[in-house]
Structures are given as C-alpha cells and as structure tokens.
Amino acid sequence: MSEPLLEFRGVRAAYEEVEVIHGIDATFEEGVVTAVLGANGAGKSTLLALAVGIMGPSEGEVRFAGAKVRAGSTSALARQGLCLIPEGRGVFPNLTVRENLWVMTHSGRGRRHVEQAAFERFPRLEERRDQHAGTLSGGEQQMLALARAVATNPRLLLLDELSMGLAPLVVEELYRHVVSLAAEGITVVVVEQFARTALSVAATAMVMANGRIIQTGVADEVESVLQSAYLGSAQPAEGDPPSLNGTSGHTDAGAGDPQA
Ligand code: ATP
C-alpha cells in the first residue's frame, strides 16, 4: 500500500507544560477529502499546527509525503505543497485583492498567472480586485484565501473552520469550490466544528475530543453516529445543525450549516 500523504504517529503535544494532544495516530490518504470534526478546544487547530510545523510534537512524529515534519519548517513544507488556510482566513486586510494575490508569487509564478488563475475560479474577486481585503465580505475573504492557496499549487490543503461566521449559502458556495479543488487532484482536510457541511464533501472523517481521536470512518457512518449521539443528549430545535459539543448548533461565532 502506498504511504499516506500525511501521517501522525503517536503524537503528543503541549502548550508550555500543558499537554493538549494525548497520543494521536492518524493517516490522511492522497486524493481523499477528510473531515476532522470536534467541539471547541478538542485539539483540531493544534493538529493542523503540528501538520505544518508551526509547532512540534512532544512525543511521536508527523510525516508529510514520506518525510518527517520538523517544527519551524513551514516555508519548506509550503514549497513542497503543504498549504494551511488558518481559522480567520489568513489574508492581509490592508492589501488589495490583487496585492494579496501577488504575495503568492513567491511560489515561483508570475503576477499575471496568479491573478488569472484566481479570477477564472472566483470572478467576484476580479470585480473587487482593487478593494482592500479587510473590506471584503467574510465569504469573499475566504474565496481570496482559497485563491491564494491555489496559487501555490498545493498538494495538500488544510482548511481550518472555513465556515466560521458565514451565512449558510456562502458556506455552500465555498464548499462547492472545495469539491472542485478536490476533483482537480488536491488532497483536502477540512476542519470544522459543525459536522454536516464538512461531511457532505468528505469521504472519510475523524472525530476529536479532548485531544484524542475518538472515531474514524467513512463520512456517512460517522454522521449517523454523531446524529444519534446528539439526539441522545438534547433535542435540537428543528433546523438546528448537529453540534459535537452537545449544545444547539448556534454559537457566538455564528457558524451556520447550509444543509440544516
Ligand atoms: P476551536 O474549534 O475552538 O478552534 P480546536 O478543536 O481547534 O478548537 P485547539 O485550538 O487546538 O482546539 O485547542 C486545543 C486545546 O489547546 C484547548 O484546550 C486550548 O485552550 C489549548 N490551546 C490552544 N492554543 C493554545 C495556546 N496558544 N496556548 C495555550 N493553550 C492553547
């Protein structure tokens, strides 16, 4: 069997002295869209930080494309095709749309190429090309973040809470882009607090709780387990998305679910 594109082997990780990831073994196969789900504080963002070398494990190892990920090697990993869109979108608010795209020319492509690729995929960005990114709508900022990521020709795209704070229809539109990126051969990991949207595009899913993976499986199977777990704790109001923290699907962040 071929080696997974991304792999966690017995990974533990801590902030200062406090361990928050308690021994994770997980594989992410090339060409597969995987959803990583879990409530607030489950450790999802930390898992991504470990994947891209923003932080290193205290035990175990992370491997990308067959090589060990070293803490601090984020630029080298980016050049090898590992791309993270962090929670909060990761665009430069004081730069225009075009300037945000031009930053990505460090990946070796020219300005015109980067712009063309972005505007073909996201025509709305072209309409707003000279607007400061900070004044774009939340959905447009995520489009810009996706466009910037695609400009680096990623092999593995990690998306942290793509839907955060966005209206359901906007989330649906963004996820359609994720589906087409996956169809073009980019391996995608979507990290979401709310399950349904991510599960609708994922083939496999992992559920995290308290720094551990508590379930891995085919996305459909994981969804049915999540639903029954949810219904077992509290009856949601009609239309509420299932949440992994046993509360209703509404949070301060307002992350909605287009399929709810
Ligand atoms: P969310 O969906 O709320 O972002 P998450 O599943 O991504 O949650 P993490 O952000 O990975 O969870 O957090 C896992 C644990 O690590 C939490 O207990 C959190 O408080 C803690 N943590 C995260 N970042 C830091 C940090 N910079 N310093 C100290 N503790 C942190």
pLDDT digits (tens, 9 = 90+) for 87-146: 877 799 999 999 999 988 766 678 888 899 899 999 999 999 999 999 999 999 999 999
The answer to the question of residue 193 being in a domain is yes
The answer to the question of residue 23 being in a domain is yes
Measured in Å, residue 21 CA sits from the centre of ligand 1 at: 10
pLDDT of 103? 86
Cα 143 to Cα 113, 114, 122, 170, 173, distances in angstroms:
17, 14, 7, 10, 10
Q: Say whether both 213 and 183 belong to one domain.
A: yes
Q: Say whether both 36 and 101 belong to one domain.
A: no
**142, two tokens:** 């995520």
Q: Say whether both 108 and 217 belong to one domain.
A: no
The answer to the question of residue 162 being in a domain is yes
Q: Say whether both 190 and 252 belong to one domain.
A: yes
Q: Say whether both 173 and 59 belong to one domain.
A: yes
**CATH number assigned to the domain comprising residue 255:** 3.40.50.300
pLDDT of 65? 94
Angle at 241 between CA 240 and CA 243, to 5 degrees: 115
pLDDT of 245? 41
pLDDT of 254? 31
Measured in Å, residue 45 CA sits from the centre of ligand 1 at: 7
Q: Say whether both 176 and 75 belong to one domain.
A: yes
Cα 78 to Cα 74, 85, 149, 150, 199, distances in angstroms:
6, 12, 10, 12, 26
Measured in Å, residue 19 CA sits from the centre of ligand 1 at: 11
Site of tokens 């909060």: 88
**18, two tokens:** 């406090």
Q: Is the CB of 41 inside a 6 Å radius of any atom of ligand 1?
A: yes
Q: Say whether both 17 and 62 belong to one domain.
A: yes
Name, in order, each residue with C-beta under 8 angstroms of 246's C-beta and a sequence gap of 6 or more.
39, 230, 233, 234
Q: Say whether both 162 and 253 belong to one domain.
A: yes
Rounded distance, CA 173 to CA 166, Å?
A: 11
Q: Say whether both 144 and 28 belong to one domain.
A: no
Which atom in ligand 1 lies closest to the alpha carbon of residue 208?
6
Percent composition of the chain: helix, strand, coil (DSSP 3-state, to 5): 35, 25, 35
Rounded distance, CA 150 to CA 143, Å?
A: 10
The answer to the question of residue 87 being in a domain is no
The answer to the question of residue 228 being in a domain is yes
| Residues in the chain with pLDDT values less than 50 | 230-260
Are the C-beta atoms of residues 144 and 91 closer than 8 Å to each other? Answer: yes
Q: Say whether both 196 and 158 belong to one domain.
A: yes
The answer to the question of residue 115 being in a domain is yes
Q: Is the CB of 20 inside a 6 Å radius of any atom of ligand 1?
A: yes
The answer to the question of residue 91 being in a domain is no
Q: How many domains does the chain have?
A: 2
pTM: 0.85
The answer to the question of residue 145 being in a domain is yes
pLDDT of 227? 61
Measured in Å, residue 255 CA sits from the centre of ligand 1 at: 18
Q: Is the CB of 141 inside a 6 Å radius of any atom of ligand 1?
A: no
Instruction: Determine the structural domain holding residue 25 and report its residue range.
Output: 1-81+154-260
Q: Is the CB of 244 inside a 6 Å radius of any atom of ligand 1?
A: no
Q: Say whether both 168 and 230 belong to one domain.
A: yes
pLDDT of 5? 95
Q: Is the CB of 193 inside a 6 Å radius of any atom of ligand 1?
A: yes
pLDDT of 225? 65
Q: Say whether both 103 and 130 belong to one domain.
A: yes
Last residue of a domain, which of 115, 130, 151?
Answer: 151
